[in-house]
Amino acid sequence: MLNKNYMAGNAHLSSEAAEPFEVRIKRDKPELAQGVDKLLELVPEEIYKRAFKNIQTFNKRGDTLLIVSGGILERTFLERDCIPALKEAFGVTKVQIIG
């Protein structure tokens, strides 16, 4: 039987509520904060919330943006709705999304 409380009794595991994407990026990667602000201006709020709610990793190297999304559904939203805005906001020519 599957134990739904798999963390009970394990001192090595902890959980915390996920913060919104823009809060995490601005805290962990301040060099990308300006791009996030521009992205918020370019993408309608409902699309932004749907596409960016489960982003796991977000990195920029040179002219490439690498995004690890929370799954195939989020990847689809990003690819369909956000590629041009991501390129403009972060000044990149290539966006690679893994989901």
Task: Kindly report the CATH number assigned to the domain that includes residue 79.
Answer: 3.30.300
pLDDT for residue 1: 45
Domain count for the chain = 1
Taking each helix axis as running N to C, give the angle between helix 72-81 and helix 83-90, from 0 to 180 degrees, rounded to the nearest 10: 70
24-62 as b/e, with b when 16 or more CB fall inside 10 Å? ebbeeeeebeebbebbeeebeeebbebbbebbeebebee
pLDDT for residue 7: 60
84-95 pLDDT tens trace: 999 999 999 999
Q: How many CB atoms lie within 10 A of CB 5?
A: 6
Instruction: Report yes or no on 12 lying in a domain.
Output: no
Task: Judge whether residue 4 has pLDDT over 90.
Answer: no
Instruction: Report yes or no on 78 lying in a domain.
Output: yes
Task: Judge whether residue 2 has pLDDT over 70.
Answer: no
Instruction: Report yes or no on 14 lying in a domain.
Output: no
Task: Judge whether residue 77 has pLDDT over 70.
Answer: yes
Instruction: Report yes or no on 6 lying in a domain.
Output: no
Task: Judge whether residue 45 has pLDDT over 90.
Answer: yes
Instruction: Report yes or no on 4 lying in a domain.
Output: no
Instruction: Report yes or no on 62 lying in a domain.
Output: yes
Structural domain boundaries, residue 83: 21-98
Instruction: Report yes or no on 15 lying in a domain.
Output: no
Q: In the predicted model, what is the mean pLDDT of the chain?
A: 88
Residue 99 or 8, more confident: 99
